Amino acid sequence: MRVVLAMLGSFGDLYPMLAIGQALRAHGHDPIIAAPAVYGSRVAALGLPFHPLRPNFPPDVLMGIFGDPVHGGRRLLLDLVFPHARETYADLMDATQGADALVVGELIYVARLVAARRALPWANTMLAPATMMSALDPSVLPWFPAGYHLRHLGAWPQRVLFRLLRRQTNRWAEPLLALQREVGVGTGDIMFADKFSPDLVLALFPRAFGTPQSDWPAASVQTGFPFFAQEASPGTAARIDAFLAAGTPPVVFTLGTTVVHLAHDFYQIAADTARALGRRAILLMGNNPPPDAPADEVLALDYAPHSLVFPRAAAIVQHGGVGGCAEALRAGVPVLTIPFAFDQPDNAMRMSRMGVGVVLPHKKVTRESLARSLRAVLDDTALAARARAMAREIDPERDMAATVAAIETLQVSPAQSTRRMVPSSDR
């Protein structure tokens, strides 16, 4: 089965596709990764075929977008995704020549058009509950976070917000809507109908993180988090082992692969806070300058796989990306989440609601607030117990097998393009 796995966005969007690609290959299939050219060498290093996909998402542009909690979504869609719809469509048409199925990430809004022209069954991957657009399971909307607190009134406040969002995104999406009209495919409702496949919608998170809802798309199948296995360099692994062997479990601080570029003085504050609490720390810092701190108390690294350091931590401080949340839940370690934008505030809320973490808004981070919040995480034995219990429910091999099996159904009995979806007005 020749499967094209297409994505746009950051490493947080790429890694799940790489994990699925490796799993499909292990099951005897022929996966192809279609992604921005900047990721080509990383894909090639895994031995997976690669096809470039425009736009190329310059890293400096992504940094600014991901650091804008209010307008980041508008900038992403209006400035990057929708204006390049024709380029994405053309590249994906090339990538799917001879393919048996198409699997796409959140930002591939041309998938329905490509699938129709190629007569391909297709699936889209939803990495976090917020992307399912459910009015019955309200999410924290970064552009209007107060809306979440209206959930006690029922679904109608979320439906009102969704109407506003639908109207606005359709205005931004005019280049894509024009392409839909030319191809003769699509309803004109980009965010609440056309992005969802009638064949398969993969909800790639566990029920504890987001429970299935009756207003999810009809073709939804929930499996679990896709974990992409990475290895540290031998030198980095040796440094980590030596540091861990020399003292008590540390607090691990990370801001992911994109938000890390917006750290400013966060890592110095993190090092100072850990030391003030009598804790050692591991800092995953990217290219930020190392803090002024004793090397036996603070280990500063540009990068290390979360799977290597999270299970050996006393607590984790992270930004709320779904990949980091998944690794923290798998590790069974309590979490302090400092969300910035997009789905991060909603993911942070869900970690808190599950009883495995505490939330600190990024605009309120000071030495005092960070120390207070981190102490609350470290001192709460019930929090740690719930984190360990949650880890026992996560089975990456089982969940990935379910994801592969769901994709294989596209080959067995592909849905017809006319299959009825849950009406967007019902969500």
The predicted-structure confidence for 160-179, as pLDDT tens digits, reads as follows: 999 999 999 999 999 999 99
Q: Average pLDDT for residues 214-242, to the nearest whole number?
A: 96
H helical segments located in 37-149: 40-45, 59-66, 72-75, 85-95, 111-118
- DSSP conformational letter for 334: -
**Strand residue runs (E) in 47-196:** 50-52, 101-104, 122-126
One DSSP character per residue, 258-299 reads: TGGGG-TTHHHHHHHHHHHTT--EEEE-TTSPPPSS-TTTEE
Which 8-state DSSP code applies to residue 10? S
Percent of the chain with pLDDT over 70: 93
Cβ atoms within 10 Å, residue 13: 21
Per-residue pLDDT tens over the stretch 318-344: 999 999 999 999 999 999 999 988 899
- Averaged over 125-130, what is the pLDDT? 97
Q: Give the up-direction half-sphere exposure of residue 30: CA atoms within 13 A in the CB hemisphere.
A: 9
Kindly state the average pLDDT of the residues 17-46: 97
What confidence tier does 417 reach under pLDDT thresholds 50, 70, 90?
very low
CA distance 167 to 191: 10
Banded model confidence at residue 414, pLDDT cuts 50, 70, 90? very low
Q: With contact defined as beta carbons under 8 Å apart, do 43 and 71 qualify?
A: no
**pLDDT > 90 in the chain, percent:** 78
Tokens 């990370």 found at = 254
Is the separation of the CB atoms in 219 and 200 below 8 Å?
Answer: yes
Q: Are 180 and 113 in contact (CB under 8 A)?
A: yes
Looking at the predicted structure, is the pLDDT value of residue 257 above 80? Answer: no
Sheet with 298-301: list strands edge to edge.
298-301, 281-284, 251-254, 315-318, 335-337, 357-359
Determine the average pLDDT of the residues in 294-315. Answer: 96
Q: Do the beta carbons of residue 206 and residue 322 sit within 8 Å? A: no
pLDDT at 366: 87
The alpha carbon of residue 200 and the mean position of all alpha carbons in its chain are separated, in whole angstroms, by 19
Up-side HSE of residue 205: CA atoms within 13 Å toward CB?
Answer: 23
> Which pLDDT belongs to residue 422?
36
Asked if residue 327 lies in contact with residue 310, where contact means CB atoms within 8 angstroms, the answer is yes
Residue range 280-289: mean pLDDT, rounded: 92
Burial class (CB in 10 A: 0-12, 13-18, 19+), 92: buried
Angle (CA) 143 146 149, round 5°: 140
The domains of the chain, with CATH numbers, are 2-225+396-426 (3.40.50.2000), 234-393 (3.40.50.2000)
Integer Rg of the chain from CA: 21
Q: Is the pLDDT of residue 143 over 90?
A: no
pLDDT of the residue at 223: 98
Q: Which residues contact 405 (CB under 8 A, 6 or more apart)?
A: none
Q: What is the pLDDT of residues 64-100, one digit of tens each?
A: 777 676 777 888 898 889 999 999 999 999 999 999 9
Q: Which candidate, 80, 108, 121, places its Cα nearest to that of 13?
A: 108
Query: If 0-12 CB within 10 Å is exposed, 13-18 middle and 19+ buried, where does residue 278 land?
Result: exposed
Mean pLDDT, to the nearest integer, of 133-152? 87
Residue-level pLDDT at 263: 56
Residue 89's identity, in one-letter code, is: Y
Task: Note the pLDDT of residue 258.
Answer: 59
Q: How far apart are alpha carbons 108 and 122 in whole angstroms?
A: 12
Q: How high is the pLDDT of residue 370?
A: 93
The label of the residue with tokens 């399912």 reads: 132
Within 10 Å of residue 364's Cβ, how many Cβ atoms? 11
- The pLDDT of residue 408 is 97
Average pLDDT in the chain: 91
Model-wide pTM > 0.85: yes
Number of H helices and E strands in the chain, helices first, is 16, 13
Residues forming beta bridges with residue 358, ordered by sequence position: 336
User: pLDDT at residue 396 above 90?
Assistant: yes
Q: How far apart, in whole angstroms, are the C-alpha atoms of residue 169 and residue 190?
A: 7
Q: Give dist(CA 89, CA 81) in Å, integer.
A: 11
Of 371, 387, 240, the closest CA to residue 304 belongs to 240
Separation of alpha carbons 12 and 10, rounded Å: 5
